[in-house]
């Protein structure tokens, strides 16, 4: 199980008398805060002040914290010296920011298997949507073919690091190499990958990375877009206001270059501190986290494979490398009913629905006469072997014995 040093990162949840030893299999949506993140926030709370504005001691310290947080996030993804880190609200915000900075004559290439946050922000008339890939090789070929026939001008390939539905890892370096050969840029949606695997911008040779703090064991409200400055420095500011400007006069406004251009308004300093602390903790424990999650994922997948009536779904096939996420359905049971029963009867939290990836879920379930939605179990640092066994046993009981209570069916499904 988890080494003690890593285990010490887990906060003890407040017991409210209803759920004891909650088995959280919803890390893919949001992961609970780490101890070192809580400590970093708590240390900053008593003395933070204005940032980038005041000359008082507290203001200067706060500005230092904020810029140190930026440097930590920069290092977390192995960014190049001239890459910039722009703090955003989350991945959705980061990708929308980049979409605003895409040159007017650019073509965007994106797989339909993306999360809506990566699928939707791009200008429709200049976006080429590729079908969900059938294999890693086909994914690379599809990008190459699209680039070969795309109109002249700048191009951007948008690709996820790991699918939020199946956890499968995309062939990022290979896609980036093909993009480079066609002088195209690459944006990596690392929302699901960064919490579980090393993301190294320079090594992968991608141009931008987007990530979310709340999936990286920091609280909500902070994410980042990290990468090349050029498109961003010539784009209109994301938010018009103080902080984004160099000078404002009757003659006009000169906007800042660098991150400040797109960080108009007072920044979320505490959020940045939290995100940076999470990045530092994940980096420190990376090997243990990966080992822990790999072994639990193998146990979960083996366990579910032995339950009759359970189907698991994948984009690339069983052999694909993946983070700790499994997407499945249970014959005869609506996915909402499965997740409601897991919660009510077993203290297990999973997600059901279409996971803000409607085209991908439609593709994965295309052959299913019964299911339009699925169940997603995503594990993380706090997951234990007992949690995995509890989930597998619960699914076995539901699949073989059936329900002991009634639950409302639903075909909903677009929470993150
Ligand atoms: N991309 C992927 C792959 C995701 O899993 C998510 C969140 N489910 C997002 C983007 C959007 O993240 P956020 O809601 O934090 O903006």
Q: How far is the CA of 254 from the centre of ligand 1 (A)?
A: 33
- Is 77 a residue whose pLDDT tops 60? yes
Spell out the domains of the chain, with CATH numbers in brackets: 4-30+286-400 (3.90.1150.10), 37-283 (3.40.640.10)
pLDDT value of residue 416: 40
Residue 202, pLDDT above cutoff 70 = yes
Ligand 1: which atom is nearest the Cα of residue 161? Answer: 3
Pocket mutation for ligand 1, best pick of 168, 191, 223 (most atoms within 8 Å of C-beta): 191
Structure tokens at 122: 């791009």
Residue 404: predicted pLDDT = 84
Q: What is the mean pLDDT of residues 374-395?
A: 97
The atom number, within ligand 1, closest to the CA of 416 reads 8
Average pLDDT of the chain? 95
Measure 169 CA to ligand 1 centroid, in angstroms: 15
Give distance in angstroms: CA of 190 to centre of ligand 1.
Answer: 9
Confidence of residue 19 (pLDDT cuts 50, 70, 90): low
Confidence at residue 412, expressed as pLDDT on a 0 to 100 scale: 57
Spell out where 174-304 has E strands: 185-189, 208-212, 223-227, 245-249, 252-255
Ligand 1 atom showing the smallest separation from residue 114 Cα: 3
Model confidence pLDDT, tens digit, residues 140-171: 999 999 999 999 999 999 999 999 999 999 99
pLDDT at 14 over 80: no
Whether the pLDDT of residue 413 is over 60: the answer is no
CA nearest neighbour of 168 among 151, 146, 145, 193: 193
ipTM of the complex: 0.99
Q: What is the mean pLDDT of residues 98-127?
A: 97
Work out the pLDDT band at 53, boundaries 50, 70, 90: confident
Q: Which residues pair with 329 in a beta bridge?
A: 311
How much is the pLDDT for 415?
47
Model pLDDT for residues 241-260, shown as the tens digit of each residue: 999 999 999 999 999 999 99
Ligand 1 centre and the CA of 15: distance in Å? Answer: 28
- Residues enclosing ligand 1, CB less than 6 A? 90-92, 115, 117-118, 160, 164, 189, 191-192, 212, 214, 356, 416
Q: Structure tokens of 367? A: 């052959």
Cβ partners under 8 Å of residue 205, min gap 6:
173, 176, 177, 180, 186
Mean pLDDT of 378-395: 97
């Amino acid at each position: 199980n988890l080494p003690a040093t890593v285990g010490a990162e887990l906060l003890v949840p407040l017991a409210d008398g209803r759920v004891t030893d909650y088995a959280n299999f919803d890390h893919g949506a949001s992961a609970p805060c780490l101890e070192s993140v809580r400590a970093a926030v708590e240390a900053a709370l008593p003395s933070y002040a204005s940032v980038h504005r005041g000359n008082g001691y507290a203001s200067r310290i706060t500005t230092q914290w904020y810029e140190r947080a930026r440097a930590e996030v920069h290092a977390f993804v192995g960014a190049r010296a001239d890459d910039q880190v722009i703090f955003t609200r989350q991945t959705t915000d980061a990708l929308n920011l980049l979409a605003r900075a895409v040159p007017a004559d650019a073509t965007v290439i994106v797989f339909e298997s993306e999360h809506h946050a990566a699928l939707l922000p791009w200008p429709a008339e200049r976006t080429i949507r590729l079908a969900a890939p059938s294999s890693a090789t086909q994914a690379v070929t599809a990008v190459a073919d699209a680039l070969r026939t795309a109109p002249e001008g700048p191009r951007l390939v948008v690709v996820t690091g790991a699918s939020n539905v199946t956890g499968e890892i995309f062939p990022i370096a290979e896609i980036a190499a093909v993009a480079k050969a066609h002088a195209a840029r690459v944006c990596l949606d690392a929302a699901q990958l960064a919490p579980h695997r090393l993301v190294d911008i320079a090594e992968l040779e991608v141009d931008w990375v987007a990530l979310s703090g709340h999936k990286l064991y920091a609280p909500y409200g902070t994410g980042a877009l990290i990468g090349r400055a050029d498109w961003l420095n010539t784009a209109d500011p994301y938010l018009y206001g103080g902080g984004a400007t160099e000078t404002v006069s009757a003659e006009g406004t000169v906007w800042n270059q660098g991150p400040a251009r797109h960080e108009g308004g007072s920044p979320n300093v505490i959020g940045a501190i939290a995100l940076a602390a999470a990045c530092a903790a994940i980096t420190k424990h990376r090997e243990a986290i990966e080992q822990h999650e790999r072994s639990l994922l193998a146990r979960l997948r083996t366990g579910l494979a032995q339950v009759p009536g359970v189907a698991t779904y994948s984009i690339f096939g069983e052999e694909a490398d993946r983070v700790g996420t499994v997407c499945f359905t249970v014959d005869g049971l609506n996915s909402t009913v499965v997740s409601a029963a897991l919660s009510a009867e077993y203290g297990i939290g999973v997600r059901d629905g279409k996971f803000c990836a409607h085209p991908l879920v439609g593709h994965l379930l295309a052959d299913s006469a019964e299911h339009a939605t699925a169940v997603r179990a995503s594990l993380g640092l706090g997951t234990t072997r007992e949690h995995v066994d509890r989930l597998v046993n619960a699914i076995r009981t539901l699949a073989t014995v059936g329900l002991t209570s009634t639950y409302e069916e639903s075909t909903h499904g677009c929470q993150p």
